[in-house]
Amino acid sequence: MLLGALCVLLLAGGLPWGGVEAVYGGGLMRVLGGLAGGAAMWAAWRLSAGHRLRMLVGLIALFFVVSGVGVLLHCGEKALHCASLGGGMWFGAVGMGCLAVVGVLFSVIFGYLAHLCLRVEKLWLAVAHLSIVLVVAGTFVDVCCEERLAVTRHVGVPSVVHGKGADKLAPFEVEVKDLHVERYASSESYTLLVHRNGRWLPVAVAKREGASIRCGQEVWPVEKLRALPGGEGRYLALPGSPVRVLVQQPGQVKEYRAVCRLSPMRGEGEARDVTLRVNHPASWDHWQIYLMNCSADGRRVQLLLRRAPGRPLVFAGLLGVLLCCFAWAFRDKRSTQA
Amino acid sequence: MGFQGQEIDTSMSTIIIILTILSALLFAAAGALLLVRRGAVGGERVLGVGLVCCVLLLAANAWAAQAPPLGNMRHVLCALPLLLAPVWVYLRCSGVQAGAGIAGVAAVALIGALCMPLQAGWRQAPALQSAWFVPHVTSYVAAYAMLTLSALYAAGAWGERQIPRLEAAHSLARLAFPFLTFGLCSGALWADAAWGRYWAWDIKEVWSLITWLIYLIYFHAPGSNAAKQRALLLLGFAAVLVTFLIVNMAPLATNSLHTYAR
């Protein structure tokens, strides 16, 4: 099975310009995913020394451990929130705190049970295989249920048109109120263009020196540059013949920041302002809003609205795989084979 | 030579080139000394001086880039010897004399760095400005450094020294595997935040997964057949080379989401 998966991946790696999506979307990877899930269950059974009941109890116990941690985190957060409100909400805070303690008890009791059932020295491996099942399951859920909407928005222009998929609507509207594009100052450059035979030809590269720009013996103050109409950067028309112009190419983008207003589609609930940055998506009712890009003129932004129900499963699985790998490599030094 | 046509600070470029050449020469000398006489104090001292030069090189790269210098191939190759230093210490504590191999790998990495464009004016693109940037790249480079050493041991595992060298290769691969896994998982989490998907079937992603799977198969391979172990370790290293070098340099990867790693 692993060899089969490897072959498909080799095919995907060897043909990056096409076919990968088809291979994945065509169902082959899903079949392999199902097989991998089955293989992981089989491995867990083997690790529990062939006792099916023991394996079942161990896996159920592990499920309760994960649930307990989830309850602890969720209720702990709620308890803190209630406590911060004060007054009568203290009762709620105490209740939530009790539930969080139940989460701790769940984790401890069922963790111990899982520890007993799945054998001490192999527990990490069992959890690793279970984590791979989680990743596969989360991916499968996302393949089936994920919703993605690519949206282009003009800055400051309210719009009700919602992405390319008119049949798929997010439960909120996005309006980009403002866009800030920060650039690396040291990466801007200046080119001297000359108009000859009906064309603008670059003849020299100018260099910025403090508040002035120098090209050979000629020096111009930076403040005289004016905004280039319909584009990024600035320019300075130079007198004399032939006609010359100094053009500033803007520096490399350091960061995009889009201030957006998220409002519910049917007027239910309150609108909320969020600042989107690359790597920092915002959330709204299980949807993530990503800033993907902005146009060269800085007036349009590309957003991605995404609802991926399998995401928590995948993240939990990745975390499990990671922890188990480190535990296996650094803790379980006695065994040399997985 | 410059990135996006910008001027490069000539004096800083000269310093970076001199430090790279000096470090490479020191590592080559240390490798030669340790190869002639295993565990020679002189060789280990030269190796230590080389590592100090590498720290200065990293600082110079960071100063020029005004960011953690791990954004392109040259940066990564310059950082690789430093990530081998803890491996060297770990192996020394375990009684394995790997100084010659480590010095050799470091020298080759720095010679490779000299062949790359200088890009002293490299600046972080918005997608690279993430908390994942340093741990993701560092874990991969550390893993690749250890796997290179592991492959060297596996390739040299013949005759009388077959068993101890294969054991050393196995220990190194075992040490590297969690870092490889961390690189893969952190990449998925970072991609989820930056691109809105945790897996994009990008050529670099696919090859890193292939590398991970080959080592996974190695650790799952039953029995202790030396030839099989050696073959899998060398196959894994070949996949590392494809992921790290060939994928970045091949023209078919121009549409890759990892093009800024060139």
Burial status of residue B244 (CB atoms within 10 A of its CB: 0-12, 13-18, 19 or more):
buried
pLDDT of residue A4: 54
CA dihedral A123, A129, A130, A133 (to 10 degrees): 180
Which residues on A lie below 8 Å from B195 (Cβ)?
A: 290, 292
Assess contact for B177 and A265: CB atoms under 8 A. no
Mean pLDDT of A145-157: 83
Q: How far is CA A83 from CA A77, A80, B36, B175, in A?
A: 10, 5, 70, 45
Give the residue-averaged pLDDT of A38-63: 75
pLDDT of residue B192: 92
**% pLDDT > 90, chain A:** 2
pLDDT band at A166 (very low <50, low <70, confident <90, very high): very low
Q: Each residue of B100-149: pLDDT tens digit?
A: 888 999 999 999 988 887 766 677 788 888 889 999 999 999 999 999 99
Count of residues in chain A: 338
Closest chain B C-alpha to A106 CA, distance in angstroms: 28
Distance to chain A for B120, nearest Cα, Å: 11
Angle between helices A28-47 and A2-14 (to 10 degrees): 140
Interface test with B, best of A325, A326, A333, A334 (most B CBs within 10 A): A325
B256/A184 Cβ within 8 A: no
- Residue range A263-311, pLDDT digits in tens: 887 667 788 888 998 889 998 878 889 998 887 677 788 888 888 888 8
The predicted pLDDT at position A243 comes to 83
Would you state the pLDDT for residue A202? 81
Q: Residue B246: pLDDT above 60?
A: yes
Per-residue b or e along A266-295, where b marks 16 or more CB atoms closer than 10 Å to that residue's CB: eeeeeeeebebbbbebbebeebbbbbbebe
- Interface probe for B, chosen from A8, A136, A279, A306 (most Cβ of B below 10 Å), is A279
Residue A149, beta-bridge partner list: A305
Confidence of residue A16 (pLDDT cuts 50, 70, 90): very low
Distance CA A234, CA A250 (A): 8
Q: How confident is the model at residue A32 (pLDDT cuts 50, 70, 90)?
A: low
What CA–CA distances, in Å, run from A283 to A142, A154, A264, A277, A319? Answer: 17, 21, 13, 13, 21
Averaged over B31-44, what is the pLDDT?
81
What pTM did the predictor assign? 0.77
Token duo for residue A333 = 């030094």
B5/A contact by beta carbon, under 8 A? yes
B27/A77 Cα distance (integer angstroms): 53
**Contact indicator for B97, B38 with CB cutoff of 8 Å:** yes
* Buried-state track B209-233, b at ≥16 Cβ within 10 A, e below 16: bbbbbbbbbbbeeeeeeeeebbebb
The stretches of B37-161 forming alpha helices (DSSP H) are 41-65, 73-93, 99-115, 133-155
Percent of chain B residues past pLDDT 70, beyond the cut: 90
Per-residue confidence band for B182, with pLDDT thresholds at 50, 70 and 90? very high
For the stretch A85-98, pLDDT in tens is: 777 788 888 888 88
How far does the CA of residue A240 sit from the closest CA of chain B (Å)? 28
- Which DSSP state fits B223? S
A2 pLDDT higher than 60 = no
- Residue, of A83 and A7, whose pLDDT is higher: A83
Q: Distance between CA atoms of B215 and B229, rounded to whole angstroms?
A: 10
The pLDDT assigned to B157 comes to: 79
Q: How confident is the model at residue A334 (pLDDT cuts 50, 70, 90)?
A: very low
pLDDT at B72 over 80: yes
Pick B19 or B164 by higher pLDDT. B19
Higher pLDDT, B177 or A152: B177
Letter string b/e over residues B246-255, b meaning 16 or more CB atoms within 10 A of that residue's CB: ebbeeeebee
pLDDT mean over A195-216 = 80
What's the pLDDT at B5?
39
Give B95-113 pLDDT, tens digit per residue.
Answer: 777 888 889 999 999 999 8
- The confidence band for A332, taking pLDDT boundaries of 50, 70 and 90, is low
The structure tokens listed for B251 are 């023209």
pLDDT of residue A114: 81
What pLDDT is attached to residue B3? 39
* A326 in contact with chain B, both atoms CB, cutoff 8 A: yes
Tokens encoding B6: 């910008």
What integer is the mean pLDDT of B72-94?
86
Q: Would you list the DSSP string of A95-123?
A: HHHHHHHHHHHHHHHHHHHHHHHT-GGGH
Measure in Å the smallest separation between the Cα of B125 and chain A Cα atoms: 6
ipTM tops 0.85? no
- CA-nearest of B81, B29, B34, B33 to B53 is B81
C-beta of residue A24 within 8 angstroms of C-beta of residue B201: yes
* Gap between the Cα atoms of A20 and A288, Å rounded: 25
Question: What b-and-e string marks burial along A192-230, b requiring 16 or more CB atoms within 10 Å of the CB?
Answer: bbeeeeeeeeeeeebebeeeebebeeeebeeeebeebee
Mean pLDDT of A240-261: 82
Report residue A336's pLDDT band, with 50, 70 and 90 as the boundaries. very low
B164 vs A48: which has the higher pLDDT: B164
Round to whole Å and give the CA distance between B240 and B248: 12
Per-residue model confidence (pLDDT) at position B40? 73
Residue B262 pLDDT: 57
Rounded to 10 degrees, what is the CA torsion of A166, A167, A173, A179?
-40
Interface of A with B in 34-73 (CB under 8 A): none
Cβ contact A27:A90 at 8 Å: no
